[in-house]
Amino acid sequence: MSGDRVPALARPLRPPSPGRAAVLLGLLVLGAVVGVAGALVQPAWFPGGLLLALAGEAGLVLGAARVTRSRSGGVAVAAGWMITVILLTASRPEGDFLFAAGSGSYLFLLGGMAVAVICATIGPGKQPDGDPARLRK
């Protein structure tokens, strides 16, 4: 290691630029919208609706990671999806609820969280010097 290069973990954290913060906030909202849409679609055409909802979530998380060229885009979408779906599971004082106590709802909730975590972590990463992650020869 040369003397002028500082390891990535030793560098101080700096906030994202205003443009990047706006993009990540937009992706968070988009993840919430996909969570609501998936919650409405998955019970309608079981099991096709469930597969469609999970595929839509996976595509959005992977696409966001690719567009932002980092895992932060995928994490923003996954966070928006998870927060929204967890809030939708809460019952209201009137007794209304969106998710029934069936296997499809549990598969959507737990499978969606697994898909979000898997897709957010396999997004494109960067090496400390800024090059795309790859194996070196």
Each residue of 60-80: pLDDT tens digit? 999 998 888 888 889 999 999
Average confidence score pLDDT of the chain: 81
**pTM score over 0.85:** no
Contact 126, 133 (CB under 8 A): yes
pLDDT for residue 40 is more than 80: yes
Higher-confidence residue: 132 or 49?
A: 49
Give me the sign of the Cα torsion angle 54, 60, 66, 71: negative
Q: What is the mean pLDDT of residues 88-113?
A: 76
